[in-house]
Amino acid sequence: MASIAIDGDVAEDEWKGAVEYELLYEIEPSYNGPAEHKTIALVKHDSEYIYFAFKAFGNKEYIRASIRSRDGIAWSNDNVVVAIDTYGDGRYFIGFSSNPLGSIWDFKREAYGEPDSSYNVEFEGYGQLTDYGYSVELKVPYTSLIFPETNPQKWKLMFYRKLYNKGIETKYLSNKDIEGAGCRICQSEIFYSLNNVVKKQKKRLIPTITANSFSQRNAAGEMITDSPSAELSLGGYYEIGNNNLEFTLNPDFSQVEADESQVDVNSTTALRFQERRIFFNEGRDFLGSDLSTIYTRAINDPTYALKFFNRGEKHSYYFLDAEDDQTVLIVPGNQRSYSAILGKSHANIFSYKYNLDRGQGLSFQATNRNYDEGGYGRLYSASGGFIIDDKYGTSFEVVHSDTEEPVSDLISTNNQAKNYTYNLDGESFTGSAAHFALYRSTENWFTTFSHKNKSPGYRSDLGFTTENNWKRNNLSHTYRYRSTGFLRSGSASVSTGILTNFDGNILDQEFEIKFNADFSNQISVDINAETTTKARFEGYSFTDIQTQRYGIRYNPSQTFFLRFSYDTGDGIARNVSVPELGNRVNYSFRGYYQFTDNFRINFNYRYNELKNKLTSEDYFSGYISSLRGTYQFNRDSFLRVRHEYNDFNDNAFTQVLFQWQPNSATIFYLGGTINREDIDGTWETEGSQIYMKFQYLLNYD
């Protein structure tokens, strides 16, 4: 066949003989109505690659597209996606996408989860505007996919297009998407056969060099600059048959871009942050849990880490081993958590899955962490998800934990559970946790009942558990409306929940009403009203807690986006000696302005306030504001400047970052951060950092 140049130009001679499909259905805002604009998808393959092309017709004056970094086109951009399920059973699919200007996106999506955009593999993609709309070409090497060792291959495909039809966000699909009929790709009837596919074995190395220079004030107030330091690390990926081995030695797992700051002034538990580290990219679907049994950011600063996994047609398994130099430990308690950074520890994670059709399956997980200070944390779980019929489904998870605490003085508190302390004093105990859900889904109605619990002795040292000794039951019922009129979609839901401890004391009993409306002028409105009839916090009881939340989102074009939310009512002051009920006001606004295809400003402001009901004195009040400007040179590189001010702590930081990423694993960062503190009205620089990181993908496939 003619060689296909991936330039976005769908030339007839290149694509002659391709298999052709059409995206016939509009799944949003209408419910499987006819697609107004024509979209053609083409497929070809050879011995090393599978190729896709899209011809997206119409809607030219409303196309939204800007130059974005990899994975930056999921929101507020026209794009087309091909979804590939190489096993055809719906357990997950890999999505490959491009917008009309050639910015690309790849992701993994499990049967009933959200797209995981941190998942990156090798592929080529490009798009271009045309006289009929736009066109896209994609080229995916077989080495970027995991598939069974059969001949011929029979892969399930699904094609998707997002557009702003006359300004209204609209989604087309190559098949109908029936609520309650199983995962989305499970419903596709497109199977593409590939004969005599030669499966190459992955052989890749990723060497990395990092360099840093720190400056900070000492106890005498003098600014001390450390000598620049550099470190080398090495990662690798090897495939043997259908077995995959990935390792990293002396990895630099530090965050290049700072996490978005969270308001924690009234929080009594640890905060959760998103996992961004590339090593944990592949295999994340093995670690899913409704009870957060595994949280890979618990592996903080490893000397080495390796993982081994195999995806079979019915049986799949995953094993991870890591030696951590600095170990983050979260000790859950009654409505409060305690944390410490210990020394070395050894971590293991094992997961097994038995795969069924339509995304169903059974899973088993086991984790273990041994501490150099002595002690261990072990966990065993079993879970599953099943479709009962075309309306009903269910899921479950049961967990057992064994704990022997290390001995350390890094946690010191007089609080304690019924049978043990929260201090790290070598005690041993066991615990359990469970989840069960039953749901019913139709075109307009969605109902779910769920139960979760974590016993007083339950801990998940490699998971994310900040509280134990609770049981929660929830029941919710939702009506969903979809239309092509002025009100394009909406929902109304009622829910009720009760949270108790294992002694039967009510910790929270609530009733909530929610409304949502999406209008054709790109305005979206949310209204929530919640009544907590009973609440209990650390022995103090409260009744009749009322809160209201209002939100509005406006996205009239690719140039401008704004979201405003306002939260008012009652709130419990938790971080005071005697908890009290106060008057709460929280509001925020965030958005962006796209000045050109290359330059964008993002802004975010969050204000939180809680006042005494009688004296109107503040328990706390303050805000966090941030401003971020990004200049996108091309889809591979950008320069970003970010400034954030934290009024709660009277400090701020400014970060400048340049990034170049030409493929999934080759990345170059160069940046610097200045931290400042407001001392008696005078801004003082408290520290700074200059850093560089360069990792390069050596592909020996």
pLDDT of residue 525: 97
Please name which of 550, 549, 542 lies closest in space to residue 613, comparing C-alpha atoms: 542
Residues 368 and 452 placed together within one structural domain of the fold: yes
pLDDT of residue 38: 98
Give a yes or no: residue 211 inside a domain.
no
Which amino acid appears at position 430 of this protein? T
pLDDT per residue as tens digits for the range 426-439: 999 999 999 999 99
Last residue of some domain: 417, 446, 465?
465
Residues 451 and 320 placed together within one structural domain of the fold: yes
pLDDT per residue as tens digits for the range 159-198: 999 999 988 899 999 999 988 777 889 999 999 999 878 7
pLDDT per residue as tens digits for the range 320-347: 999 999 999 999 999 999 999 999 999 9
Half-sphere CA count of 49, side-chain side, radius 13 A = 17
Does 406 have pLDDT greater than 70? Answer: yes
Q: Which residues have CB under 8 Å from 643's CB, separation 6+? A: 626, 627, 628, 652, 653, 654, 655
pLDDT of residue 144: 92
Residues 65 and 159 placed together within one structural domain of the fold: yes
Is the distance from CB of 91 to CB of 110 less than 8 angstroms? yes
Residues 121 and 248 placed together within one structural domain of the fold: no
Give how many domains the chain has, as a whole number: 2
- Selected residue with higher pLDDT from 190 and 258: 190
Residue ranges making up the domain that contains 280: 242-253+269-465
pLDDT classification of 256: cutoffs 50, 70, 90: low
Residues 167 and 289 placed together within one structural domain of the fold: no
Does 157 have pLDDT greater than 80? Answer: yes
- Selected residue with higher pLDDT from 684 and 107: 107
Residues 331 and 404 placed together within one structural domain of the fold: yes
Which amino acid appears at position 13 of this protein? D
When pLDDT is averaged across residues 232-242 and rounded to a whole number, the result is 90
Of 14-18, 444-448, 573-577, the poorest mean pLDDT is in 573-577
When pLDDT is averaged across residues 575-581 and rounded to a whole number, the result is 90
Kindly calculate the radius of gyration of the chain based on its CA atoms and give it in whole angstroms. 26
pLDDT per residue as tens digits for the range 439-493: 999 989 999 999 999 999 999 999 999 999 999 999 999 999 988 788 988 999 9
Q: Which residues have CB under 8 Å from 700's CB, separation 6+? A: 203, 204, 205
pTM confidence score: 0.89
Last residue of some domain: 430, 465, 500?
465
pLDDT classification of 260: cutoffs 50, 70, 90: low
Give a yes or no: residue 576 inside a domain.
no
Of the chain, the percentage scoring pLDDT greater than 90 comes to 76
pLDDT of residue 539: 87
Please name which of 69, 65, 86, 88 lies closest in space to residue 8, comparing C-alpha atoms: 65
Last residue of some domain: 436, 465, 494?
465
Residues 333 and 433 placed together within one structural domain of the fold: yes
Residues 169 and 273 placed together within one structural domain of the fold: no
Residues 295 and 187 placed together within one structural domain of the fold: no
Is the distance from CB of 268 to CB of 575 less than 8 angstroms? yes
Structure tokens at 138: 């994609």
